[in-house]
Structure 1
Amino acid sequence: MRSFQWLALASTFVSAGAITPEQLITAPRRDQAVPNPSGEVALFSTSQYSFDTHASSSWWSLLDLNSGKVSRLTNDSSVSEVVWLGSTDSNVLYINNTNAQIPGGVELWISNTEDFDGSYSVQGCISAGFVLWSQDSGTKSGDIHFVVYSQTYGNGTAYNEKLAATPLSSARIYDSIYVRHWDTWLTTTFNAVFSGTLKKKITGQGGKSRFSLTGPLHNLVAGVKNLETPYPPFGDSSDYDLSPNGKWVAFKSKAPELPQANHTASYIYLVPHDGSEKPVAINGPKSPGTPHGVRGDSSSPVFSPDSDQIAYLQMKDIAYEADRRTLYVYTIDSKKTISSLAKNWDRSPSAIKWTPDGQSLILNTEDKARQRLFLLPADAGDDFKPHNFTDGGVVSAYYTLKNGDVLVTGSAIWTSWTVYTANLKKGVTKTLFSANKVDSSLKGLSSSDVDEFHFKGNWTDIHSWIVYPPNFDKAQKYPLLFYIHGGPQGSWADSWSSRWNYKVFADQGYVVVAPNPTGSTGFGDKLTDAIQNNWGSYPYDDLVKCWEHVRDNFDYIDTDHGVAAGASYGGFMINWIQGNPLGRKFKALVSHDGTFVADAKVSTEELWFIEHDFNGTFWANRDNYRRWDPSAPEHIRQFSTPQLIIHSSKDYRLPISEGLSLFNVLQERGVPSRLLNFPDENHWVLNPENSLVWHQQVLGWLNRYSGVEKHNPKAVTLDDTKVPVVDYNP
């Protein structure tokens, strides 16, 4: 027997290359690298939290695309949304989040990157808190057309929180469903895109160019009732685009004629930048060129380099968030021509960019637990299968360079931020930056920490990641930490996470196994769609078979002292496992924001989600909802594995009552259990101080029951001193 041979290594396996929760939370978090027109340098922003000051700081930097060296541009935390100005290599346009004239307003500034803090000039004041620039557009006159977004009132004027009147009553009244979404109760304000122009002027004897904001900003969505963009809570500048010639703006909005709680349908709208006409849906149900039967979510509109076409993505199903996206191209002059590209390709792109010559498109697409870039000719037929020219990790952003290569920002399980160049034919050509080589808290992490395997699932081969602790030795034995992903249409990808980080869990002394069972995305429609009305069947069977495969094939993994954890759908699956035989195979369980009572699913905000996944409405198809009910008596009677329940009060997708119900049952059944609640968090735990408590409780709970706590002096323990435990039991 070698069940605890891993314990002899306790003093060494966390000493080299290990990452702690504190290091994860305080490591620098960098945004996308955006190159200047010549491709010599790239801009990016960084934020970092400190447990010493209990505050975050942020700054902007430049990355030299030849040497990979980083230089600080500015420490001014008021600077945001920086974009390169037209075709210049050193001038940038940005928002300064201060306004001396209007409380809650912002200002438009221009600076030169060679003397950023000393060269700024104020171009204009805006009376509200506008955020998120699109790429600016240079016109023949030299004027700068730009697009921003802000919250607005129903009359189209921008909302300014500091100037808004405080109502005397806190009452909220609704006459239609969709009263709240994600973590926010819906109000009479909503998002809207605004356009503006900075007029170029030549001043002085030297002919120096200056710009000034001319006229008011134009609300581009105000002309049609119920339009909103970017769409909350995750909408951003990818929801709209400004044509290179500055004439047009395209944006995504949910279908205004349909109840948003029941449908995912959205359209791409086209509107003149100057707001002279109302926006028109190019692929709405009454649009002449709309492909037959295609009514699902539209996304990622992007203009061709000549401004004549718009490429966009759209799902077919009107009420399904994980349907496959197909690429379409709309020709503006024709007003009737929408063509599909690679329609039969069994992958779902998430972002599009045209190549500079307009002859091809570059697609960012999930594929086999990675996020890869694929090249697609603009004249590709429906049966064309694009080829990928990047491979490992995930791509979070990408830009074409002047020499034809692509600048890629991404991450991997072993690094939080990497920037590299890739050639459309040769693949990755040069790595410019990788956080694990620079950040002291991440040093020692490498691709050798990660492996993958496949096993026979319920009906097909299933992929799984395997992540090792530091100083891993296959001759020793380590307890299993079984990871179950959310979604349910989602996946464990080769990506960095600041919440469910594989390495932070592994570095406690576990081998993390993270399978992608039925329902997972990136492996084709059939695997993704097969989870519909099968939440507790195929996926559960896959997980059982994964656990058995690990037990029978990996001598260095100790399944006798294994533990399991999951969030969202993964939280549901933990609750399902608790009441089924697999639950007896683990020493402890952790469920984060998981559903428990089948009938409670009707309290969610996105009704289209449950009505799709359970094949109908709550009243007409109640048996479908109850088929996979963790709270059914026959499951509750099997509860016996110690379980930590985490549920936050602002999670409106899975209301707090779900966590309370599960905790009540576990306590009454006498099962060791604990409830962790964050009143100010949503489906995710984002506040750094809350995140630290989350890690201490989750890791401490698992470590206590797996045996890690007793034998590893550096393991996280249940720290009940920072947040006192409420216990009214005698």
Structure 2
Amino acid sequence: MAIRATKFTPSVLLSAPRRSPGIPNADGSLVLYTTHVYSFEDHEKTVEIRVLDVKSNESRLVSRHKELSEPNWLDDETVFLLESDTDGTTNVLVGPIDDFDNQHYVAGEIPAPASNFKLKQVKDGYALAFNALAKPNDELYNPDTAAKPHSTGKLYDSIWVRHWDTYKTQNRAAIWYTTIKKDDSSSSEDSKWTLTHLVNALQGTSLESPIPPFGGTDNFDLSSSGLIFVAKDPDLNQALNTKCNVYLISLSSFTQTTPSAPVKVATKSYDGAATSPVFSPDGRSAAFLAMEKNGYEADRNRVFVILDVNQPVAALHWISREDGDGKFWDRSPSGVTWSADSGTLFLTAEDEGKTSLFAAISSANLPGPVTKLTEDGSITDVRPLTPRQLFITKSSLVDNSTYQYLELPSKNVTTISSASRDGSAFGLSPSQVSEIWYRGASSDTKIHAWVVRPSTYNKNDTYPLAFLVHGGPQGAWTDSWSTRWNPAVFAEQGYITICPNPTGSTGYGQAFTDAIHQQWGGLPYEDLVQGFDYIERHMPDVDTSRAVALGASYGGYMMNWIQGHGLGRKFKALVTHDGVFSMAGQLASEELYFPFHDLGGAPTSAGTRKEWARWDPSLHIEEWKTPHLIIHNELDYRLTISEGLAAFNALQTRGVESRFLTFPDENHWVLKPENSMVWHRVVINWINRYVGLPALCKEEDIFTFATPKEEQDAGAEEERS
């Protein structure tokens, strides 16, 4: 039996299988992937490793265990998996794809939590690189077996005390390497894959890679002769700088117990963040992304290529100024992948509300123009099979995961139908999604917005407005799936959900992104005012007299700013999630380079203090009148909980109807399934109350986890698959 939703509710969203990018075998006939499903009845996550037979369009189970992760191929018949053990160790499991549960074995044990494995075939097996924490003495760190201190005190002599949701310690992220090869002492039929000696590639250095908290496989790569990685500049304080360096480590073999010293790659005049280092398949070259400006995390990424990794004197810019149509290409790529023949670079980049795939085709070792390869949805993973075929994973506003084959140069796409969790599984349809463009704060600025209507939409009816403002602020609403802020969840409550991308958004050119500098409550706010005016005048199916607005992070800041200004009176209710209340509170943030850049510098002079005060929501609380839900989490070290408490206290002392929701165990996001369910219930109940829509659930059911009857009635029915 398969569950097919008749209405897309938070319960359906949070219970739906979450599928990893697909990992095809050598000829693309089989695809490995992982699915995660959370049961609110059992309060438990189920993890399945599955394999899809592309020809038959049938998926079958490889293994099921909540501690399994990171499947990969050793050959077309053998699977490599990780298993997290109860003592914090990581087991490397190997077994046949057709009978893994009965025939797998432990190829080796890593005595610490390990993740982000990459494999590269070498002559006697595979080279492996992975991530695990290292102690100050360069040995593996296992928090489960480490000695526990008798005091909880922490003492610091400089800023960078904590980051994201964790206090800094002397342990640091490191890249480790090893090999896995067949045991030569046994006959070929009985030989097993075995993990060899583990080596810390960063031993004896002060470097940390991947870069916490979000760095992973996009921060390092391996070839048959070495490693390439990015790390923050060790000579600069990370609270004030984004500068990263790219390093190469040469290895005669991956059994080398003492790695060569890392060699820094020169990127003249580029002193910002760097990411996505990747070797070409032939191992001769490497590419990576780097920004020019230190302290600005949303600067435009440029593509660099090291033509010969054996002579990494300097990296070269690898994009011509023009795209395939002769226009200036000013998108900022977020990922880079080499073609199977090492001749082309494939780039993923936001482009007008989508994350598209581009090809940077070169000749004679010279940069070439950029050609756009995809037009819809958002690409999340790219895997070259042949020089003319790519396997891609993507999503959209109504599809949570789709696998496709992309043929070049025709750009023909083949979707693997049974592997696609298309919108019909959730009661959603692409017909619900549309786009609008309207004039922004200035007459020559066009603002893009996504529109998601209910699946039961009738053009003769009117619907309340859910106006969603994204975070960042240098971010964007894209045609992609989300389990945290999903526009379709609001649409299925009976709203027309509109998600604008105002000044500062990414994917519309770097000048548009940069224009939010020292303009937090200026141009973006005016763009939102113009957007609301456009909706009133041009969208008769939207009842703007029943409008609500919601936002998180910078979107939460904007809710607080709107509350104190004219647009705030247009809404029946507001929702702020982890937003800025007082600009002075940003001095408690960990990444101080961020407010220092966006607000014009540190507030250490009268001039800069004036700029900080210019866009301070707390200076306008005398105008706060609209009912307002405040959400703020205790582990949010980027915007501390005092921001949420201060906003709530201001509302309460002014007598404005308000509520405060907090999660002591969540950071800037709400990630735990039960907490996310509570979040959705509180938020939807709040906004529905003010526009005349029924509550998602009864008040007494908000903190219960057997699905309330209201959601059961609207939720799912069983259907034979």
Equivalences for residues 380-529 of structure 1 within 5 A: 384-402=368-386, 404-433=388-417, 442-459=425-442, 460-529=445-514
Distance 1:553 1:607 in 2: 42
Aligned partner of 1:624 among 600, 605, 611:
611
Match of 2:80 in 1: 93
Contact 1:18–1:444 under 8 Å retained in 2 = yes
1:7 paired residue number? none
Partner of residue 172, structure 2: 190
For 2:269 and 2:109, locate their aligned partners in 1 and report how far apart those are by CA, in whole Å. 46
> What's the offset of the Cα at 1:586?
0.5
User: Is 1:457–1:541's contact at 8 Å kept on the other side of the alignment?
Assistant: yes
CA contact (8 A) 2:629 2:686 kept: yes
Give the deviation of 1:467 after TM superposition: 0.4
- Residue 30 of structure 2 aligns with which residue? 41
Distance, in Å, in 1 between the alignment partners of 2:187 and 2:703 is 67
- In structure 2, do the counterparts of structure 1 residues 532 and 205 end up closer, same or farther at CA, with 3 Å as the change threshold? closer
- Matched position secondary structure for 1:542: helix
Separation in 2, partners of 1:585, 1:267 = 48
1:666 & 1:58 partners in 2: Cα distance?
A: 43
| Cα distance change on mapping 1:195 and 1:629 into 2, 3 Å | same
**What residue in structure 2 maps to residue 334 of structure 1?**
311
- For residue 321 of structure 1, the aligned residue among 254, 275, 297 is 297
Distance across 1 between alignment mates of 2:379 and 2:152: 44
- Residue 157 of structure 1: aligned partner: 139
Given that residues 699 and 717 in structure 1 are in contact (C-alpha distance below 8 angstroms), is that contact kept between their aligned partners in structure 2?
no
**Residue type matched to 1:554 in 2?**
M
Letter in 1 for 2:9: T
Change (3 A) 1:230 1:46: same
1:354 and 2:335 aligned: no
TM-score normalized by the length of structure 1: 0.91
1:231 shift after superposition: 1.3
Counterpart residue type for residue 310 of structure 2: D
Say which of 187, 195, 198 aligns to 1:213. Answer: 195
- Give the Cα separation in 2 of the matches to 1:555 and 1:380: 56
Match of 1:538 among 517, 523, 540: 523
The answer to whether residue 215 in structure 2 is matched with residue 235 in structure 1 is: yes
Specify every segment of 5 or more residues in structure 2 that has no aligned partner in the other structure, as ranges: 322-328, 705-721
The CA distance in 1 between the partners of 2:546 and 2:395, in whole Å, is: 31
- CA gap of 1:652–1:435, structure 2 versus 1, over 3 A, is farther
Q: Go from structure 1 to structure 2 and tell me whether the alpha carbon gap of 1:204 and 1:174 turns closer, same or farther (over 3 Å shift).
A: closer
- Contact 1:348/1:366, CA 8 A, preserved across alignment: yes
Q: C-alpha distance in 2, partners of 1:168/1:421?
A: 56
Q: For residues 127 and 206 of structure 1, what CA distance do their matches in structure 2 show?
A: 29
Amino acid at match of 1:622: R
In structure 2, the residue corresponding to 1:703 is in which secondary structure? helix
Cα distance in structure 1, aligned partners of 2:187 and 2:260: 43
1:438 CA drift (Å): 6.5
Change (3 A) 1:317 1:164: same
SS in 2 for 1:132: strand
Q: Which residue of 1 aligns with 2:228?
A: 250
Q: CA deviation at 1:334?
A: 2.1
CA contact (8 A) 1:92 1:113 kept: yes
Equivalent-residue separation in structure 2 for 1:303 and 1:383 (angstroms)? 17
Residue 595 of structure 2 aligns to a residue whose secondary structure is helix
Query: Can you list the C-alpha shifts for 1:607-662, whole angstroms capped at 9, x where unaligned?
Result: 00011101111213111111001111xx2121110000000010000000001111
- Kindly indicate whether the alpha-carbon contact (under 8 Å) linking 1:704 and 1:717 is maintained by their aligned counterparts in 2: no
Cα distance, 1:263–1:382 mapped onto 2, change above 3 Å: farther
Q: Is the 8 A contact 2:134 2:140 kept in 1?
A: yes
| Contact kept? 2:379, 2:393, Cα under 8 Å | yes
- Contact 2:361/2:367 (<8 A) preserved: no
Change (3 A) 1:603 1:379: farther
State the distance in 1 between where 2:564 and 2:238 align.
35
Say if 1:701 and 1:717, in contact at 8 Å, map to a contact too: no
SS at match of 1:663: helix
Equivalent-residue separation in structure 2 for 1:78 and 1:690 (angstroms) = 21
- 1:238 shift after superposition: 1.6
Give the superposition deviation at 1:115: 1.5
Distance 1:268 1:672, change over 3 A: same
The whole-number CA distance in structure 2 between the counterparts of 1:263 and 1:573 is 26
Residue by residue over 1:294-331, the C-alpha shift from the partner in whole angstroms, topping out at 9 and shown as x without a partner, is: 11111111101211111000001111110000110112
Residue 6 of structure 1 corresponds to which residue in structure 2?
A: none
Deviation of 1:65 after TM superposition, in Å, equals 2.3
Select which of 216, 222, 240 maps to 2:203: 222
Distance 2:278 2:341 in 1: 14
Instruction: Provide the residue aligned with 1:3 in structure 2.
Output: none
Check conservation: 2:47, 2:68, Cα contact below 8 A: no
Provide the C-alpha distance between the structure 2 equivalents of 1:205 and 1:581, rounded to a whole number of angstroms.
Answer: 79
Question: Post-superposition shift, 1:559?
Answer: 0.3
SS state at 1:81 partner: strand
**How far 1:720 sits from its partner (Å)?**
4.2
Change in Cα spacing, 1:360 to 1:413, as seen in structure 2 (3 Å) is same
Aligned length: 685
Secondary structure class of the residue paired with 1:118:
helix
- Give 2:154's aligned residue: 172
Q: Tell me if structure 2 keeps the 8 A contact 1:389–1:423.
A: no
Change in 2 beyond 3 A, CA 1:17/1:382: farther
Is the partner of 1:584 in helix, strand or coil? helix
Mapped to 2, the partners of 1:316 and 1:476 lie a distance apart of 51
Q: Percent identity?
A: 40
Q: Is the 8 A contact 1:203 1:210 kept in 2?
A: no
> 2:281 — aligned with what?
305
Aligned to 1:71: 60
The alignment partner of 2:449 has SS state of: strand
- Cα distance 1:671–1:382, how it changes in 2: closer, same or farther (>3 A)? farther
CA distance in 2, matches of 1:279, 1:94: 31
C-alpha contact (below 8 Å) 1:436/1:444 kept by paired residues: no
Secondary structure of the 1:362 match is: strand
* Cα shift readout 1:372-430 (whole Å, capped 9, x = no counterpart): 11111144999854111112111111111247311111110011111111123222421
CA apart distance, 1:206 = 5.1
Structure 1 CA distance for aligned equivalents of residues 369 and 345 of structure 2:
13
Indicate the residue corresponding to 2:683 in structure 1: 698
Q: Which residue of the partner structure matches residue 267 of structure 1?
A: 245
For residues 149-208 of structure 1, the C-alpha deviation after alignment (integer angstroms, 9 at most, x for no partner) is: 111111101011221111100000011111111111111211111111224333555565
User: Residues 206 and 636 from structure 1, CA distance in 2 versus in 1: closer, same or farther, beyond 3 angstroms?
Assistant: closer
CA distance in 2, matches of 1:338, 1:694: 47
**Partner Cα separation in structure 2 for residue 222 and residue 275 of structure 1:** 11
1:38 to partner: Cα distance: 1.6
- 1:22 match: secondary structure: helix
